[in-house]
Amino acid sequence: MGNGPYPPLAGNPDIVAPDTANLIATVLYGRSGPITILGHAFSGVMPAWHDQVTNAEIAAVLTYVRSAWTTQHTS
């Protein structure tokens, strides 16, 4: 659901975007700088994960988030 500097994944339209390139890049390489999600501004730092989790693990996490969470909240 997000909290403080951490934006929500549930209900976030970026999570269910048909093009998953930005989503995958965010988890692989992290991101920082201003972003507005569901009308709320964030400007935090997400760490990169590519050194700690395999591509298969990232794919599994993102498949779970895109299907089990967000689809239910936005449909």
Determine the Cα–Cα distance for residues 16 and 8; give it in Å rounded to an integer: 13
Number of helices followed by number of strands (H, E) in the chain? 3, 4
Residues that bind ligand HEM (rule: CB under 6 A) add up to a total of: 22
Facing residues of 37 across strands? 40
Q: Which of 20, 42, 59, 73 binds ligand HEM (CB under 6 A)?
A: 42
Q: Which of 20, 35, 66, 73 binds ligand HEM (CB under 6 A)?
A: 35
User: Interface with ligand HEM by CB under 6 A: which residues?
Assistant: 5-7, 9, 12, 14, 23, 26-27, 31-33, 35, 37, 42-47, 61, 65
